[in-house]
């Protein structure tokens, strides 16, 4: 158990934040989060140009993998650090690390330096994902917090759409380095927006300390697992000694990390947080939901090109239904959660609806029209999107203020890990049917691809959502803190 919990003190603010200051903080952290999200999507169209100008095209996937590894691994660390040292210095550190990585990447003379710069970017970007939700959690009580989840989902949607457009434009008409130079002024604007008001946020756990060994074990175990998930089936066969060795080493280090959590005087992730049934069920549901969503987002363009005959650009446009549906679902869930006592039913109904739509899509996959696919994928996004505000608010509402950063960091970590696992699982399904392995910039294999492969991919995504539905069903409900803005409905 976290022995320092009893010693916690909170630094009280001298003056409450005004609505204008709250909006400035939220706008600043969302802008910084937009930068980190953009850098997951903006580089893909420019990668061929980078390979041609910098050489060593064989290392091109590491431009993406390097960012993913560090961003996923550090997310729980930022949550703990912000609980100990306060949000403002931690947010500033994350932005500055991200900008330093952007500078290294923009000035990279060769592929190796570019990959190092991307890894540094990820070390800052991973913190921005977790800290944005944590800071919003500080500012707004749980009952009112869910509506801001739609802003976060909207930020991801903007990054998903604008990233490829900007990346392609910069690489084709200007210079690929502008992909990274653009982060510098935007990052400085974000820091200026949050500088003064963020000073007023309290430090909820001043006497805590960081478990350095636990942090090192977590980063190492995560990195090895992600390497196995990224390389399996593409660089090496899944049953090769390289992949099995990575998985075995990761399992061993995860075991040491679990032992460290049990024995450390103050573990990196409090056992009080890990043992909370709401946190366990909420983070598991988000993990499974993200695995299904990202896996589907990777293979849906392949389906649109292979079976429906769309071009690469047209298939990208057709993805708007899934993305906008997800934002609409998150907005709907965020605006209605405060009106219900049994608020988790919003997510359960949404996920059940998404499973039904995926089932229908699997039945008509071989002969569906584009309109039918657009309607079904929009409904899938609408249904699954309702889970994001419900899971996030439930997890944050389940812990006290001193552990808010840790709980949000764990949620962000498992969400990112679920993305990698979902791509790997659906990639294994694709391999079994002769489809290309999922990767950045994946291209269709040709018009002769069997529709049966996509039937199984859609069913596998539905199975992940079904497990997420079970996790939501097992999640206890705790009354949301805060004052309701509208009458609360019992059902």
Residues in the chain: 491
Give SS3 for 444. Answer: coil
- Rounded Cα distance between 75 and 420, Å, is 15
Give SS3 for 60. Answer: coil
CA angle, residues 398, 415, 93, in degrees to nearest 5: 85
Residue by residue, pLDDT tens for the chain (491 residues) are 344 434 444 444 445 666 666 777 777 777 877 877 777 767 766 767 777 777 776 666 677 777 877 777 777 777 777 777 777 788 888 889 999 998 998 888 888 888 888 889 888 888 887 777 777 777 766 666 666 666 776 677 677 667 667 776 776 677 778 888 888 888 888 888 777 766 666 655 555 566 677 778 877 887 788 778 777 766 778 788 888 898 999 899 989 988 887 887 777 667 777 778 888 888 888 888 888 887 787 778 777 777 787 766 676 677 778 878 887 888 787 777 777 777 788 889 999 999 999 999 988 887 888 888 889 999 998 898 888 888 888 887 887 766 776 777 778 777 777 877 777 777 777 766 666 544 433 444 444 456 777 888 889 889 999 999 999 888 887 877 654 444 444 44
- Rounded Cα distance between 6 and 9, Å, is 9
Question: Encoding tokens for residue 101?
Answer: 């990585």
- Rounded Cα distance between 483 and 464, Å, is 35
The answer to whether the pTM exceeds 0.85 is no
Going along 13-133, which residue ranges are E strands?
A: none
């Amino acid at each position: 158990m976290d022995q320092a919990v009893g010693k916690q003190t909170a630094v009280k603010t001298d003056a409450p934040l005004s609505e204008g200051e709250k909006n400035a903080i939220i706008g600043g952290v969302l802008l910084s989060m937009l930068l980190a999200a953009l850098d997951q999507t903006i580089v893909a169209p420019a990668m061929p140009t980078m390979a041609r100008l910098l050489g060593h095209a064989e290392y091109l996937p590491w431009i993406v993998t390097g960012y993913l590894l560090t961003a996923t691994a550090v997310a729980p660390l930022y949550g703990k650090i912000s609980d100990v040292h306060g949000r403002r210095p931690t947010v500033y550190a994350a932005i500055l690390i991200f900008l330093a990585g952007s500078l290294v990447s923009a000035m990279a003379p060769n592929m190796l330096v570019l990959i190092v710069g991307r890894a540094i970017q990820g070390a800052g970007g991973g913190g921005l994902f977790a800290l944005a939700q944590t800071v919003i959690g500080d500012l707004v009580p749980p009952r009112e917090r869910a509506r801001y989840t739609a802003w976060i989902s909207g930020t991801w949607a903007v990054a998903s759409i604008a990233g490829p457009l900007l990346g392609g434009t910069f690489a084709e008409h200007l210079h690929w380095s502008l992909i990274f130079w653009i982060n510098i002024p935007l990052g400085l604007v974000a820091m200026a927006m949050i500088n003064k008001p963020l000073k007023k946020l309290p430090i909820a756990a001043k006497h805590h300390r960081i478990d350095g060994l636990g942090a090192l074990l977590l980063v190492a175990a995560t990195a090895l697992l992600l390497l196995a998930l990224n390389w399996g089936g593409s660089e090496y066969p899944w049953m090769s000694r390289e992949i099995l060795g990575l998985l075995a080493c990761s399992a061993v280090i995860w075991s040491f990390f679990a032992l460290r959590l049990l024995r450390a005087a103050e573990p990196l992730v409090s056992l009080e947080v890990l043992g909370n049934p709401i946190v366990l069920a909420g983070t598991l549901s988000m993990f499974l939901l993200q695995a299904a969503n990202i896996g589907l987002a990777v293979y849906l363009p392949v389906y649109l090109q292979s079976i429906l005959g769309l071009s690469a650009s047209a298939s990208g446009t057709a993805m708007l239904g899934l993305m906008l549906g997800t934002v609409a679902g998150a907005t709907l869930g965020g605006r209605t959660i405060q009106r219900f006592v049994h608020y988790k039913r919003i997510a359960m109904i949404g996920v059940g609806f998404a499973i039904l739509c995926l089932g229908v899509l699997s039945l008509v996959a071989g002969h569906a029209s584009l309109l039918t696919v657009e309607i079904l994928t929009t409904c899938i996004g609408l249904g699954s999107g309702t889970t994001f505000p419900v899971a996030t608010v439930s997890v944050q509402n389940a812990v006290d203020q001193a552990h808010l950063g840790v709980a949000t960091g764990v949620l962000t970590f498992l969400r990112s890990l679920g993305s990698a696992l979902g791509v790997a699982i659906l990639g294994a399904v694709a391999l079994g049917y002769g489809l290309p392995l999922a990767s950045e910039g994946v291209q269709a294999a040709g018009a002769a691809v069997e529709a049966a492969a996509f039937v199984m991919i859609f069913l596998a995504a539905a199975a992940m959502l079904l497990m997420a539905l079970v996790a939501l069903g097992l999640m206890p409900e705790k009354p949301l803190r805060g004052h309701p803005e509208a009458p609360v409905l019992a059902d």
